[in-house]
């Protein structure tokens, strides 16, 4: 199953000053718009999202949960 990912991109194709890529409030400056768009694609490839039940998560991460929430 795929989900849309909304990205806001300026309409301006060229700018002397360059372009900012803003992710989670952090900005990175690029000379060309295409470079910024390529970086977005690379960033999206790094993301991994998984949906599982609470019970499955608890079974797989029993030790991790125990470290974070001592009795």
Q: Which residues of the chain have pLDDT under 70?
A: 71
Place of tokens 């991460």: 61
Long-range contacts of 42-50 (CB under 8 A, 24+ apart): 44/5
**How far apart (Å, rounded) are the C-alpha atoms in residues 20 and 17?**
10
| pLDDT (0 to 100) of residue 71 | 67
User: CB–CB of 41/34 below 8 Å?
Assistant: no
| pLDDT (0 to 100) of residue 23 | 87
| pLDDT (0 to 100) of residue 61 | 86
**Backbone φ/ψ region at 64: left (φ over 0), alpha (ψ -120 to 50), beta:** alpha
Annotated domain spans of the chain: 19-68
């Amino acid at each position: 199953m795929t989900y849309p990912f909304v990205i806001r991109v300026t309409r301006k194709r060229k700018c002397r000053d360059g372009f900012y890529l803003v992710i989670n409030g952090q900005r990175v400056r690029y000379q060309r718009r295409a470079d910024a768009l390529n970086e977005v694609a690379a960033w999206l490839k790094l993301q991994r999202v998984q949906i599982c039940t609470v019970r499955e998560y608890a079974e797989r991460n029993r030790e991790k949960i125990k470290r974070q929430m001592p009795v």
